[in-house]
Structure 1
């Protein structure tokens, strides 16, 4: 993983003209290794697989968020669908993002954008769902292991603190399908300044 981190750092410099500190590249590699090890020993027979969206508890609003990469033009998309405890859709949003190069980064940006939109609504209880297991686990910790995206994580944690009850949970891709489709739809969004 350390050798891969060196290779990754070099490629970021050569192909993306991004300078990563050695510690950032190593932290990124170790975060990926940790996520791999956490799933490696898991017995798939003992895992309960949630394959459809489920209602949140009474009085709770559930935003599902997802990101999608568009390699053709180097952009990405963010999808958000917000439902109440009866399953009624409150809003659905699709937004195109630029200057995003990694899947982990766009997943973080999706959560950030979702919180930015939910906070002005004055919601008191959110159960955020994402299909990124790595992020759900890392955002539950007091500090984030991947220093490359530390600023986005700090923004997310600050916004979470503004909502009285706010949790981020992992769901399978099937249970997050609506948000994923909205994120893919962002490819056709023309105006990137408004959402």
Structure 2
């Protein structure tokens, strides 16, 4: 990490919290995004190996950090209004309908919820539904169930 954040004293005995505080105390706020991108990438690499038996190379991790920080920098350049306009819901073409779906997992309850909203080209809600499902494995399965429920409307 020292190569990416000059001045950061890396000590194996330091916690992530202590290293973060050190950066703040030394007025190195601009380095926090680099620090957290690196920390998250190490965590992601570890999980990929533990759960998927996939070992990412250090270069793949570094490339991911560079890409993440580039995207973060682009978003930082936009103000909140620009972001809201960029990510604002958009109506479908004239005389078309748009189906938006989402899913959420409540692991402690052993449940999954899916929600769907059908809107017309003026943004009016025509139908909406939220349904509790049994717990499912994987984001893809949850999103597919939400699409399926939406098509059942």
Higher RCO, 1 vs 2 (CA within 8 Å, ≥6 residues apart):
1
- The TM-score bracket by the shorter chain reads 0.3 to 0.5
- Please say which structure displays the higher CA radius of gyration: 2
